[in-house]
Structure formats: structure tokens, C-alpha cells
A and B are shown apart, each in its own frame.
Chain A
């Protein structure tokens, strides 16, 4: 994964001591150095967060970032498993087949990134049952659109709840989810960008949508 987004996502100790101007002004070299340092603290950070007292509901905090990133991780597990299974079954054709392969690799990279960022605080992967949506081309396409649109709305709904230092990594994933949505929509001849302003969903709305799929079985 590119070095630009290897930010220390879970880094509660450094959160308050560094202003964003200082961070912006920092040289690229020191930014990367800090990212490496951050990477080394991730595991400890995850443990520390578990012991933090709960803060005011909705207030930005390291603990809230962990909850949001674990919510994102659930969606990424779902997407990665969906595309990986579709590719493995080998029944897709044409550009749809290529889409599944490329996007599957992206979603697996998102899972790996979030797991690393969360360290020991990362949730475990659920069991999925995608039924025939990974083997019937038309069902795969409509499911892919639904999953990608849900991903865009989900990350969008959480962006303003993340701390500044966590937001860029989430935004770098969000942009790619929007690209996926645009691509699969164009493949099935639906408008890739159907509106001038995308809509956000709350965590509860996203959870309802995910539950309604029945894909998570355990």
C-alpha cells in the first residue's frame, strides 16, 4: 500500500500534541518516519484504547475512531469476501470478470490496512453466505452496485466523526469506493454519477442494509 496513507491511525498518545499546521509543515521524510513509529505503536494503542473511559457520546476520540474503523472493517470484510468468492467461482465474464478481480484486490488491501491500523482491537471476520450472487452475473452486478453504494454512504456518514489524523486514510479508501461504484454502474449502463451531491448514511442505516442482505451468517 502506498506510503502516503500509512498514517498512524490508532495513535492516542500523539493525538493532542501535534497541531495540523505543524503536521502540514513537516517534511515528507519526517512524516514517513512518524508513520513508521506510529505503526510500531499500533498494537499497544489498541490495548490502551480498550481501557479508556468512555467519552461523551459522539465526541471525537481515539476510542470512537476504533469503533468507526471496526465498522468499516466489517464492510470491507464483506466486500472482500464477496469479490474473492466471485472470482474463485469463475462464472463471471467480460468486463464484469475484470471488475471483480481488480476490486477484490482493492477490498483485500482495505481489510489488511484496517486490520493493521486497529491492531489487537480489530474485530474478527464473520462467516458469509452470498448464495448465488457470486455466480450469476446479473445478480453479481446488482449486488456489487448495492455494496459499493453502501460503502460510499457509510464512509461518508462517518467522515465528520473521525479525528483529523484518522480522516485522510478513510478518505483515501472512500474515494476508491466511489470509483468502484462509478465503474460497475457504467458496466451495466446505469449513470455512474447519478447526482451532484452524494448521500451519507448513518451507522444504523448501513447496519440495517447489511442485515437485510442476509449475507452475514455467523
Chain B
């Protein structure tokens, strides 16, 4: 078994795709005609967005992701060399700041924002051994 997808349920798939393109510089792979599902071009492990309705149709029961509620206890993490620049850009594009770039004792710079749906997104430098 391998990790194939990270799928985030959102109120509006198209808005989420546009936001991720603008804030984190990743590109869309496709948006399904139904506007209920979209995939981003993130390499071997796909980041995808699905509409809340899709969760309901699939028989799931979920807590909706919204900026006004407490963040769910998991995150996605983007890795980049210049964390400060990426963090500033994400904020400028409408991300909610959480933890500004901080150098960890193990040499990694990490920062956290919340996306327009309140999902926790980490922006960090690569971990060097």
C-alpha cells in the first residue's frame, strides 16, 4: 500500500484550487465538470479537493473545515528553501497567519498558516541530516 491522495473536503472546490494556486504556487491538474472534485499537480502523492456534498454522498459524516472553527488535528506541509518568502506570499494571498517562520534546533525553518477553509498548512524548509 502507498499513500496516493490527500483529499480535503471543502465548501467550494474551485475557490480552494484558485487559492492554492495563488497562495502556494501549485498548479491544478484538473477540475471535474461537476465542480465537486479537483486534483492538484503535486507529484506522486496527489493533493485533491472534494466538495462537502461528495462526503455526504459517500455516506461519510464529517466536521466541515472552516476558518471560524478550531483547526482539525492534522496538516499538510509544503517544503521550500526560502520559507520566509513563501510564508509572506501565502499571507499576502489571503492565508491566515498562525506561527511565523521559526528556526528549530534541528536546523529546519517551519511556519504555519491556515488556508481559506481553516485547514492547517505548514511551510517548512527541507530537513537536512
Q: Is B truly associated with A? A: no
Interface residues of B (CB under 8 A from A): none
